[in-house]
Amino acid sequence: MSLTQPSEQARRRDYRVPLGILLFVVALAAPFIGSRYVVHSLIIALVFMLPAHGLNLLVGYTGLLSLAQAAFFGIGAYAAGLLAVAYGTPFYVNAVFAGLVAGAVALPLGVPALRLRSTSFVMCTLGFVIIGQAISKNWISLTRGDMGLSGIPKPYFELGPLSFSVGGTTGFYYLALAIGVLATLAVWAVVRSPAGRNMVAIRENETLAESLGVPTWHYKLIVFMLSAVFAGVGGSLYAHYLTVVSPLTFQMYYSTTMLIIVLGGGAGMISGTIFGSLLFVGLTEALRITPELRMIAYGLCLLVLVFWFKRGFAPVINRVWNAIGGAK
Amino acid sequence: MKINLSRRAFCISTAILSALAFAPDFAAPARADDAIKLGLVAPMSGPNARYGSFAMRGAELAVKEINDAGGIDGKMIELSNADSQGTPVEGVSATRRLIDQEGVSYLIGDVSSSVTLAMQPVAEDAGVLLLNAASSNPKITYDAGVGGFKWTFRNYPTDENRALVVAKYAAEKRGFTKFAVLSVDTDYGRSAIQFTKKYLPQFKGEILSEDYYKEGEVDFRSVLAKIRDNGAQAIIYYGLVDTTPIVARQMTELGLAGKVVLMGNGEFNAASVIAAAPEAMEGAIEAAAWLPAWDSPKSKAFVAAFEAAYNESPNNHAYVHWEAVHLLAEAIREAGANDPEKVREALSKIKYDSAMGEVTFDDHNQARLPMILLEIENGKPSIKGAYSAEIEYPAQ
Amino acid sequence: MFSTILEQVVNGIVTGSIYAIVAVGMTMIFGVLRAINFAHGEYYMLGTFGAWFAIDYLGLSYEASIIVAVLSTVVVAYVVGRLVMQRMVGAPAEAGVLATLGIALVLQNTVILVFGGGYKFFAGGYIAPVEIFGFSLAQQRILILVVCILVFIGLELMVSHTRMGRSMRAVAQNVECCEVVGIDVPQVVLRTFILGAALAGLSGVLTAPVNVTVYGGMGELITFKTLPIIIMGGLGNVRGTLFAAMILGIAESLVATYIGLQYRDTVGFATLILMLMWRPYGLFSTQARF
């Protein structure tokens, strides 16, 4: 075998496109393949994926670890729910309103919080969630306090003669899927933009980025607000699906879930967040086969995640994906 | 390389495991007519597990009793549990799994009202009978029966009746006019106080201070000092059973024991609670749906069976879930078939002989439960009266 | 009027002493590991359960149960420390959060599995009240206060005079230099972790008589109460934590009396956020290290 001539190796086939199409078809056909339980789990994965995308922008691309997503999620849920119950507005109005309210609240919170260093920042964001819960419990005239906001109507689309209401698990799944796809495209657009590159620069070396003229402070604030918007829209989806919003939405459970999705999936990679949502839901539901050991097993899985998959599953997925694509 | 291999193996095995776990879901299970499938949604992890645990054991005991006696018309009950963690999302996932994968026709759940509210549309959609045994939010039955959700029933008192009866007794028989409020900061505590405030003016009572405590709070000294100083005669306490002994002990600590009385609900009558602070509990007034000391054969049998099986005294949550399973079994017997539609019909018309008296359901699928008014005298609950009141439903 | 405020301040100091013992453990662990121990409250719970088990099942006296409680917490902390915490040296913050959350879930639910999820009542302890300066306090609370003072004096002495203490300070300041100088960092981490967890367990068993209820999920609330304290005191700052705990205890008492008990839990984080706006590096540190 000569050293200068390339050796002939059979080119491995690139299966990525067919596989992608297959996955897409499976996603569309899921309600017809799986039981309602499976479809419900997918809806939950999609509902959590939205705030997770927002958190991914924060953690993965700017390096800020925030636990406040649950706060914005809850604010969005209440905003959408209150609007729907009081005025019966169409779903897209509720979703946009929820996102805007969450983003607007993020501004005065972010300005002081982002000055803090990492650990203090984490605790500050946790504080937002706790304060959010206290407000939702005590501002009874607005949120109905502990009685909760129930009876949120089905998502309604006002299209003149074509108006329809989304009902049933299957219908809701397609709605969630559509929103999930839109959100993923939005995140992808943000990351690919020049702004996105600046964000990565901030994560890699903030001081250097500043010296190159990147207004780090503005970027951090905008990303913080943007992540809140994602969480708010996710909250509106949650409100319409569960039909109940209560102060329990501000429990730590939601914050930790979103964090696990992002870190488990792989911070800084969009595919990581998608995979993380599916993984999280798949894991928590699959573990129901042993009700007593479920949470213990879940805790152990978290530990495994930390030690063996320090950067989440995304690098592994990428390798698999590339291998399917013909690379070695 | 070694590390890579084991990581790869882990990935593959996880993928296979998850696929296997979900595989059964891809075939909708057939509902076997020879078993009665009952699902129980309760918090089994997290802080609320301390209530869910009692609920689960009560239900399990009842299922065992029924199955040991030959089942219902020969059919055995199959009980499946799912953990709601006290979170609405998990509660809905648990419900969905029980309905779609375990194929349950009847559900009992949850303890937290928010979770129950989220479960209602799911059960309604699937035509599964949801019998709630522990949530106190009035909305659950305002929106049930003729109010909307036909498949939801509740076998637990709402606080409207309780608030009125307690307030009346305190004012008329004990002559109290000055009250301090200390209740749990949940829908249960808040709605009970809301109702109390509605009725108190009728009895010339005034509320001197109003405080709500978070679940898990352990330090009441500040509030109790405030109450000691403002001169209230009784503390209106609608709270959690495991907080009652803490409050009682701290009342003793601050010198309130014997001077100020607890009234409302919080399992004052449990022997362990009275034992924790006897002086403070003396004279407490409570309206309860059940008490362990209740002298009826069925109730005593339940307490004995529970203690024999689990080495622990049953509490209210255990009782209501035990009763709910028996109630459901009776409805199935009266319906004559394991058909949720027929059972629902039977349940709405049922006259059930519970351990506390007769139970019937109103048109909002809310049970009319016999309630007991008691006072703690000489360290033991002393029954002062029984009542069962109609609920005024707000115009829809 | 004055006596009411004074009484609330005394209440606050008593509450603060409980918080202080738990918080100092968490802050020391942060000092050497740079990781927030989200599972810290679980060691408090383990201490309580150990004592409850000793009294209810083994029939021991309260004093003996204290020893059983602390020992059982130490054993669990040793296992967790060897298997998990030692590997967290040099790991990023996210890893610490996830790992300690996982540990919390495992500990909480194992206890629920073994002892059952239902609540239990704690028998034992010195709950008879005693009059001091006109205030009525359970004897147990005075015990807690005394232990708190002893613990902090002990820690001060340890940190300045013993080898262990000096190693802790060294690791807290600069891990790489420690390795150069020859300090066995994982060993120091393990010992600090066990000490911190043991203190949490001790706090659990001391407060069990006045808190009465015991259940598997009780640790979560303690973790949340303690987090603001360690930030306010300055992460890794032992003395600062004592003062922050006292201040928080007093603030909580005053809020509970004059504003309403329902706001008591939020005092911690609300104060924290306000403080972070004004003095981001903690009330008692002079520079922002974290």
pLDDT at residue B24, as a whole number: 47
CA-based nearest residue in chain A for residue C271:
A127
CA-based nearest residue in chain C for residue A109:
C273
| C65 — pLDDT class (breaks 50, 70, 90) | very high
CA-based nearest residue in chain A for residue B23:
A34
Asked if C148 and C21 touch (Cβ cutoff 8 Å), the reply is yes
Q: State pLDDT tens for residues B72-104.
A: 888 899 999 999 998 999 999 999 999 999 999
CA-based nearest residue in chain C for residue B58:
C118
Report yes or no: A154 at the B interface, CB cutoff 8 Å. Answer: no
**How many of the other CB atoms lie within 10 Å of CB of C206?**
25
E strands, chain C, are 120-121, 129-132, 135-138, 213-214
- The counts of H helices and E strands in chain A are 15, 4
Query: Distances in Å between the alpha carbon of B86 and those of A111, A193, A295, B322, C112?
Result: 34, 42, 14, 20, 15
> What is the rounded CA–CA span in Å between residue B149 and residue B121?
7
- Yes or no, beta carbons of C253 and B221 under 8 Å apart: yes
E strands, chain A, are 149-150, 156-157, 164-165, 244-245
| C289 — pLDDT class (breaks 50, 70, 90) | low
pLDDT at residue B3, as a whole number: 44
Does position C47 have pLDDT exceeding 90, yes or no? yes
Name the β-bridge partners of B82.
Answer: B41
* H or E element that contains B64: helix B49-68
* H or E element that contains A217: helix A216-242
For residue B327, give both structure tokens: 């109630």
Does position B183 have pLDDT exceeding 90, yes or no? yes
Q: Which of A65-79, A223-237, A284-298 has the lowest mean pLDDT?
A: A284-298
> What is the rounded CA–CA span in Å between residue A213 and residue C81?
44
> What is the rounded CA–CA span in Å between residue B189 and residue A140?
14
Q: What is the mean pLDDT of residues B39-55?
A: 90
> Following DSSP, what letter does each residue of B129-176 receive, concatenated?
EEEESS---THHHHTBGGGSBTTEEE-S--HHHHHHHHHHHHHHTS--
Asked if A118 and C290 touch (Cβ cutoff 8 Å), the reply is yes
pLDDT at residue A47, as a whole number: 95
Residues on chain B touching A137 (C-beta within 8 angstroms)? 185
Residues on chain A touching B132 (C-beta within 8 angstroms)? none
Of A37, A137, A249, the CB nearest to B97: A37
Q: State pLDDT tens for residues C102-145.
A: 999 999 999 999 998 888 888 888 888 888 777 888 889 999 99
Q: State pLDDT tens for residues A136-193.
A: 988 888 888 888 888 888 888 887 777 778 878 888 999 999 999 999 999 999 888 8
> What is the rounded CA–CA span in Å between residue A317 and residue A275?
9
For residue C129, give both structure tokens: 């009240």
Residues on chain A touching C101 (C-beta within 8 angstroms)? 256, 299, 302
Q: What is the mean pLDDT of residues B243-251?
A: 92
Q: For the whole model, what pTM was predicted?
A: 0.89
Q: Give ipTM to 2 decimals.
A: 0.88
Does position A323 have pLDDT exceeding 90, yes or no? no
Name the β-bridge partners of B37.
Answer: B78
> Following DSSP, what letter does each residue of B87-119 receive, concatenated?
-HHHHHHHHHHHHHTS--SEEEE-SSHHHHHHH
Q: What is the mean pLDDT of residues A125-144?
A: 90
> What is the rounded CA–CA span in Å between residue A274 and residue A48?
10
Q: What is the mean pLDDT of chain C?
A: 89
> What is the rounded CA–CA span in Å between residue B235 and residue B213?
13
- Yes or no, beta carbons of B81 and A248 under 8 Å apart: no
Q: State pLDDT tens for residues B318-333.
A: 999 999 999 999 999 9
Query: Distances in Å between the alpha carbon of B232 and those of B177, B178, B208, B259, C34?
Result: 8, 5, 7, 9, 50
Does position B289 have pLDDT exceeding 90, yes or no? no
pLDDT at residue B31, as a whole number: 47
The A-side interface with C (CB below 8 A) comprises 59, 65, 112-113, 115-120, 122-124, 126-128, 130-131, 134, 137-138, 252, 256, 259-260, 263, 267, 292-296, 298-303, 305-307, 310
Q: State pLDDT tens for residues C191-219.
A: 999 999 999 999 999 999 988 889 988 99
**B382 Rama class: left (phi>0) / alpha (psi -120 to 50) / beta:** beta
Does position B2 have pLDDT exceeding 50, yes or no? no
Does position A2 have pLDDT exceeding 70, yes or no? no
Q: State pLDDT tens for residues B132-164.
A: 999 888 888 888 888 889 999 999 887 777 888
